[in-house]
Chains A and B, each alone.
Chain A
Amino acid sequence: MKTLVFGAVTAVLLHITPTVVLVKRQDAVTRLLPGADQFAAREVHLSSTDSRRIHDAVGWEPPDGMVTFYVGKRQDQVTGALMFMRVDCQHGPLELAIGFDPSGTIRGVEVTKATVEMKPWVLDALRAGLTDAYRGLGLEQPPAGAERVKSKIGAMPGYMAELIDKGVMHAAAAYRLFYGRK
């Protein structure tokens, strides 16, 4: 019986808390692809060589070998592109929306999902102005949002900021390497 109780307590402690929506995906699309009235999903199925290429570049590759860019258009002119990017950690997944303008710089970043446990840490980091650091960032520039806000926030919000930096870096690498592929 002791083993059972111990097992149950351990299982509860190990359990990752449920995911909550911080920003609806549709709202993120509106903010990151302003003015667009037509959208297309550009799905890039990576070859092993390209998977290795992005892995060598940023230490990450899409787990199922596919990257999806949502392209926004107005009167057949591309107004930008957007990616949803998941970042995993031991506390659960974070989902980011990363918007790019047509010139390839980052237009903005929204944190769309987090877990119940991570939500207050993420909100702390966002309130400290984390996502301001990404606006206008070039594809070759490493995101340094965490460095910018760490002095104003606690350790866990700082850790969340590092994870968000990582997600932005992965998205920027994917955009740089594969967005223009035909």
Chain B
Amino acid sequence: MLYDLRHSDLRVRWLVTLLLATLGTSYLFGAWMVALYAGFSPRKVAETYGPAGEAVMAMQMPPDTTMVTERPVSTAEMGEEMHHVDRDLLVQDTHVHMPMYAVIAACLSVITLGLTVPRWAGLAIITLLFAAPWLDFAGMWLTKLASPRFAIVTLTGGWAMALGYGIVAALATYQMWWRKP
């Protein structure tokens, strides 16, 4: 263990607690945002990150000849933009979010270093913290470029992120404020 959160200065424990509370709040809003714009089912995620249009599953490759479909829509449907992330937006999203995810994973990993857990468990938690955003974005890119079936990878990444945070937050809070030697 590089340092011990249980015996750390009150200021360190307070900092970690506030950091975890702030991250937890942002994760809750993150989940809300996912519900608004992408959804929690593989189908919804595939619609958001896969090819555009109605025939999401069928239109993986450009057609041999240009195809036109027409369907009636209401003004409400035109106003309700279906949030679809195309390739250019995904480039921008990846560029913007990956550094932030790395910083969050690093912060949670630093907290993990102060936990009283076996070495292998520490390594596993740190791996989970960094694997989650990789899975998240790998899933988005694979959904876009390979097959909508990879939406499940994005969902796994999202849940892994929540799991990693949950483990660190629960262990840290317990060890800092309840479990004393």
Spell out A's residues near B (CB within 8 Å).
4, 7-8, 10-11, 14-16, 24-26, 29-30, 38-51, 62-66, 68, 70-71, 84, 86, 88, 92-93, 178, 181-182
Contact = CB atoms under 8 A, between A and B. Distances in A.
A88 B71 contact: no
A92 B77 CA distance: 25
A65 B103 CA distance: 35
Contact of A88 (B55, B62, B72, B92): B92
Contact of A41 (B73, B100, B103, B106): B73
Contacts, number: 120
B99 A10 contact: yes
A29 B79 contact: yes
Interface stretch (B80-88, B126-134, B160-168): B80-88
Contact of A65 (B54, B62, B68, B76): B62
B75 to A, nearest CB: 5
Contact of A47 (B63, B71, B77): B63
9 contacts: A14-B99, A29-B79, A39-B75, A40-B71, A44-B66, A47-B62, A48-B62, A65-B52, A181-B66
B9 interface: no
Contacts of A49: 66
Contact of B75 (A11, A26, A50, A86): A26
Listed from nearest, the 10 A-B pairs whose CB atoms lie closest are A26-B79, A63-B86, A64-B52, A25-B79, A63-B87, A11-B99, A45-B67, A66-B52, A11-B100, A64-B86
Interface bracket on B: 35 or more
Contacts of A182: 68
Nearest to A51: B62
Which applies to chain B's interface (DSSP): helix, strand, loop or mixed?
Answer: mixed
A62 B73 CA distance: 22
A71 B75 CA distance: 11
Contact of A93 (B53, B84, B92, B99): B92
A64 to B, nearest CB: 4
Contacts of B62: 45-48, 51, 65
A78 to B, nearest CB: 12
A65 B66 CA distance: 10
Given A39-B75, A40-B70, A45-B53, 6 more contacts: A26-B76, A26-B79, A47-B66, A65-B52, A92-B92, A181-B68
Contacts of B95: 14
A157 B95 CA distance: 25
Nearest to A90: B92
A39 B66 contact: no
Given A7-B106, A45-B53, A47-B66, A39 B99 contact: no
